[in-house]
Amino acid sequence: MPEGKILKALSGFYYVADKENNEIYQCRGRGIFRKNKITPLVGDYVVYQQENGHEGYILEIRERKNELVRPPIANVDQAVLVFSAKEPDFNTALLDRFLVSIESRHVHPLILITKCDLLGEDEKKQLAETFDVYRKLGYPVILSSSKEQWGLDRLGPYLQDKISVVCGQSGVGKTSMLNRLDPELRLKTNQISTHLGRGKHTTRHVELIPAAGGLVADTPGFSSLDFNEIDAYGLGDCFPEIAERAGACKFRGCLHLNEPHCAVKQAAGQKEIASFRYDHYIQFLQEIQNRKPRY
């Protein structure tokens, strides 16, 4: 049976790129998937049966190395987290929410900052210190300006031979960035709404698009993330600087909140952990602890 990869899901159809010839086949999923509550996802490697030319049925979904809920996509190599320097203003709390969500799915993040041409000199210095924090944690940070056409050339090599998901807050220029990276895409964009202070949603479905030698998913923008799939004891693993020090805490299962002899609290007190990052950890931890139980 032929094999391939799902590049697009739309209205109950799955568009599969054949592994051998890369031709696209429009497929439906077998009824057994619905019965077993399995949904084929963009990025899935599948076995399919060809019927009626370029139509067919998906017979089997290969094991996934990971999957994201929002956007619904599987086998992601990396996430490009796109945030603007201004309009809307850069927000470390929102970036950390995305990072925690991505880390929990074992996907490697890359941070791309757009609209850097709008920054004044004092703002550049202030944000440079913040970005240094993330670079020291091992996160690549790329500064760019689509308007002035600089910085995006550094992104291309990161995308090559990978499945990348592009996500971030609405109105930060994700679609413009992809169009700049590959002008043949001609993706639809909307100008930011000055009244609402945010962008309009222009992306309607998840699709893997060839770009810079890899496949990129342009996904809907959204401004909030919950942590329904993360428990209180797993949150620290999503902060590299906390996970690195957690083994030195006196008590196993330390939440780094009020426990004595906590290596993480000590590091935060000595500014070895950035105060805003530790504050966000505490904020997210309380959010997880206060959520209503699911039955």
Average pLDDT, the chain: 86
Q: What is the CATH number of domain 3-63?
A: 2.40.50.140
Q: What percent of the chain has pLDDT over 90?
A: 58
Residue 59 exposed, middle or buried by CB count within 10 Å (0-12, 13-18, 19+): middle
Is residue 221's pLDDT more than 70? no
Residue 184 exposed, middle or buried by CB count within 10 Å (0-12, 13-18, 19+): exposed
Q: What average pLDDT does the segment 230-251 reach?
A: 96
Is residue 108's pLDDT more than 80? yes
Is residue 233's pLDDT more than 70? yes
pLDDT bucket at 222, cuts 50 / 70 / 90: very low
C-alpha 276/C-alpha 268 separation (Å) is 10
What DSSP designation does 203 have?
-
- CATH 3.40.50.2300 assigned to domain 68-218? The reply is no
Is residue 53's pLDDT more than 90? no
| pLDDT tens, position by position, 146-181 | 777 788 889 989 999 999 988 877 666 666 677 776
What DSSP designation does 193 have?
B
b/e string for 213-244 if b means 16 or more Cβ within 10 A? ebbbbbbebeeebebeebebeebbebbbbbee
Instruction: Please count the CA atoms within 13 angstroms of the CA of 119 that sit on its side-chain side.
Output: 19
Question: ω before 293 within 30° of 0 (cis)?
Answer: no
Query: Parallel, antiparallel, or unpaired: how do β-strands 163-168 and 214-218 relate?
Result: parallel
Domains 68-218 and 235-290 belong to one CATH topology = no
Is residue 136's pLDDT more than 50? yes
Is residue 91's pLDDT more than 60? yes
Q: Between vectors from CA 186 to CA 185 and to CA 188, what angle results, nearest 5°?
A: 120
One of 3.40.50.300, 3.30.230.10, 3.40.50.1980, 1.10.40.50 is the CATH number of 235-290, namely 1.10.40.50
pLDDT of residue 109: 94
Domain ranges of the chain: 3-63, 68-218, 235-290
